Structure 1
Amino acid sequence: MFPDRLKQVQAGVQVALDDALARLADVPVVHAMRYALQGGKRIRAFLVIEGAALFGISMAQAMPAAAAVEALHAYSLVHDDLPCMDDDDLRRGQPTVHVKWDEATAVLAGDALQTLAFELCCDPSLGPADRRLDLVRALARASGAEGMVLGQALDIAAETADAPLSLAEITALQAGKTGALISFAAEAGAILAGADRAPLATYAKALGLAFQIADDILDVEGDPAKAGKRLGKDAGAGKATFVSLLGLEGAKSRARALIEEAESALLPYGATAENLRQAARFVISREM
C-alpha cells in the first residue's frame, strides 16, 4: 500500500542522510545541515525509488540517488527561506535555518547540502560510472540555470514586474522552480537502468505542474498548522498564481486533469507502476 511504502522510503532516506553526515565534523554548519534534512514528505525520494523499481533496481541500490535529491531539495528550501529570497521564518513547523542560526550559516549549510547531493550521486552502488555520470549531469541540469535556479530567478523577477505573469509564464516558471527536480527524481531510475526515459518524463512533467497547482491551492485554503509554514504570502504580495488566474475550482480541475495525464503516461509499465500512480493522486490530496 502507498502509505506504508512512503513511510518505508521516508525512514530509509533519513537513515541514508544521517549516515552521510555522520562522518562530518561536529560544527554548527553540519548541525544546520542535519536540521534542514529532518522531516518532509520525501515525495522526490519516493519517485526515485519507485522509478528505479520499474527496472528491477532495488531500494538499497537506488537509495543514494534518493538521498541525493532530498539533499538538493533541502538546500533549495534553506536558500529559498533567506531574507534575500522569500524571507520566511517557518519551515516544516520549525524555525528556518537562518532564524535558528544566522544567514551566513544558512548559506553555507545550503551550499554544503548541494555538494553532498552530487557526492551521493557518485556512490558506486548506483552502478557503472557512465550511468552515474549521466545521473550527475541530469541533476546539474535540473537544479541549475536550466531548471530550479532559473525558475527561482524568474519568480524573483516577477515580484517587480510591471504586470502579473500570464498563465503560460507561470507554467514555464514553475516547470523550473518545482518541476525540474521532480522530473529528475522520476527519471533517475531510467537513467540508472540505461532505459527509455520518455514515459517517465511525460509523467513527471504533468506531476510537477499538478504539485505546484496543489501548492497554490493550499496557499489559499490550507491550514498553516498542517502546512508548517506561512500561507497566503503570494496573494498578499499580489503575485499571479494558478489560483488567481484559473480560479479555485479551475485550478482544482486542472490539477485533476494533470494527474490523469500522469497516470496515462505510466500505462507501458502496467501494474508495477501502481505506487507511482498512487503518488500522483497523493500530490493533489495532501494537506501540507
Structure 2
Amino acid sequence: MGAEQQDQAEVQVSLRVAGASGDEDHSNTALQSLHEDGVTLARRVASLKICNNDMLLQARRADLEAKIAAELDTIAITSVNSKDVEKDCMLTTCKGDREVGLPRDKKGGSSSRVRQLERQLDLERKASATRELAKNQLQEKISVFGHVRKKYILDHDRLKRENEELHTLVIRLREETRVLSRQVATLEAQRTVAGEEEADKIIGERLRVYAEREQEITAELHATKIQLASAHKEVEDLWRKLKDRNDSVEEIRRKSDETMRALKSQMGTLSLAREQDLYKREDLTRQINALKMQLEIAKDH
C-alpha cells in the first residue's frame, strides 16, 4: 500500500498549494473532487491487489495434489496385491494345461468326486477371468484419473499465468495514476504563474481526460474481477470432478478387495478338499496293495 499512500500525499500537497493560491471556489471544488477520485481509485487498486494475492487457490491446489498422490499410492498397492493373488491362484490350480490334485478314477469308485472337483476348477477359472476383467477395468479408471489430473495441472498453470498478467496490469495502472497525479500537481503550479483563468481551462481539460481515464480503469478493474470470479468457479468445478473421480476409484477398489477375499476363501476350500482326496487316494492304494499281497499269498497256498 506504499504507492497508494504516496499518491494520496501528492494529491494532498497539490490541494494545499491550490488553497494557498486559490481565490476561486470552482477551482477548489474541482481539486477536491479530483482528490476524492484519486482516493477511490487507490482503494480499488488495493482491493484488486488483495484479490490478486488471494491464497485460497494455492491452498486448494496443494490439497488436491496431496489427495491425488495418496490415491495413486493406494491404487499401486492394490494392483501389486492383485498380481500376487493371481500368481498364487495359478500356482495352486494348474501347471501348464494339466490340472493338479485331481484323483485318477482307476476303478470307478470316486468318479463323482472327480467330476465335482473338475466343476470346481472350472468355476475357479471363470472367477480368474472375472478377476482379470475387473483388474483391466480398474486400470482403465486409473488412466482416466491420470488424464483428469493432467488437465487440472494445465488449467492451474493457465490460471497462474493469467494471475501474473493481472498483477502486471495493476502495476501499470498504478504507475499511470502516479503520472496523472504529478501532472495535476504541475498544472496547479502553472496556475499560480500563468494566471487562474488560463490555468482553470487547462485543469478542466486535464480533469476531463482524467475522468475518462478513470472510467477506462474502472471498466478494466471490473473485467478483471469477472475473470477472477470465473477462475475461482473453474477451480471449484475441477475440485468437485476430482472428488467424484476419487469416490468412483474408491468404490472400484472396495469391490476388487471383496472379490479377492471371496476367491481366497474358495481357494482355501479347494486346497483342503484336494488334500483330503489325496489322503483317501493313498489309503485306497494301500488297501489295494494289501489285497494284492493277500491274493498272491492265497495263490501260493
Q: When the two structures are superposed, what TM-score results if normalisation uses the length of structure 1? A: 0.23
**Greater relative contact order (Cα < 8 A, sep 6+):** 2
Structure number with greater Rg is 2
Larger helix share, 1 or 2: 2
Q: When the two structures are superposed, what TM-score results if normalisation uses the length of structure 2? A: 0.22
